[in-house]
Amino acid sequence: MRGHFRHVQTTYPGVRVFHENRIDIPHGAEVWTPGPDAESIDLVVTFGGDGTILHASSLFSAGAVPPVLSFSMGTLGFLLPFRECVSDVIDDWMYNRIPDIDDFAKALESVYSGKATILNRMRLACNFYNTDLAKKGSDGDDWQVMNEIALHRGSSPHLNTIDIFVDGQHLTEAVSDGLIVSTPTGSTAYSLSAGGPIVHPSLSALVLTPICPRSLSFRPLVFPSSSVITLRIGDRSRAPAGVSMDGRTSHVLNPGESVVVQASPFPVPCINRSSIVETLTDEHLEGAGPGKEDDWVRDINNLLQYNATFRSKALLRHSRT
């Protein structure tokens, strides 16, 4: 990553570079701490797996998120469009796979020249309430979620009983291992594993997916982004519900307590790889080359192998050799 930092210093000398306060901060970068008094950021660049962009989203929980340019160093990287060129290097006695500097330079050039396009990935705003309907936490203390919020029974052997309200109307009483409310981006994460639908990330919608429901007729539902979903732990529930948001444990809701979930006004603007004009190298690896195609369509085929038969899998492997 130090080579990428030097490239920015050399090519864009007037640009200030910030980094989280960690031991691997590059020499010359300024320390950035999130908060209401934090320095304004114009562009976020991430290196890592899907969890890296989720972490970047969590750093801007109080307001708008800057455009995010993401490079994959993980295995799947469904949220990370720039994954083609990687180099195996030894950096500070550690073996790493890092994006090729040419790939990085072309992506930055596209951003600074105004050629990059973005996909606004919606987030969820979550607020928690106690049994007296008093809000937990201070005003404005919303939890911003990019993938999903999940209520689950945790280590309890008993099923959760959760009352679901949509726009103030009682929808149903769910008896299950838990419930997931996800964004379209999160529809290919935990929700998909629980049997939820795949939703295109350019849509604005809320996906409600049960986790191992007792009733076989309890199927996933998709609501418009204008809907407000309230999940209240039923008074007859034999177990509290653990709450995890984007994989982070946050709360425990006891019977009578609730969480209100709605679309956040602050999406995550992700830069599309297909907006990069110049062709990148190593085209035989995961993903297709840049062009006019939808990044998401390419990814559900190449990464999730959507509806792949034995024949189509063989053709896909042959096309990469």
Active site residues: 50
Q: Find the Cα–Cα–Cα–Cα dihedral 35, 139, 141, 155, rounded to 10°.
A: 150
User: Do 224 and 204 contact (CB within 8 A), yes or no?
Assistant: yes
Q: Find the Cα–Cα–Cα–Cα dihedral 163, 195, 54, 136, rounded to 10°.
A: 10
DSSP symbols for 120-185: EE--EEEEEE-TTSPBSS-TT-PEEESSEEEEE-TT-SSPEEEEEEETTEEEEEEEEEEEEEE-TG
Q: What is the phi/psi pair of residue 149, to 5°?
A: -115, 130
User: Exposed, middle or buried, 208 (CB in 10 Å: 0-12/13-18/19+)?
Assistant: buried
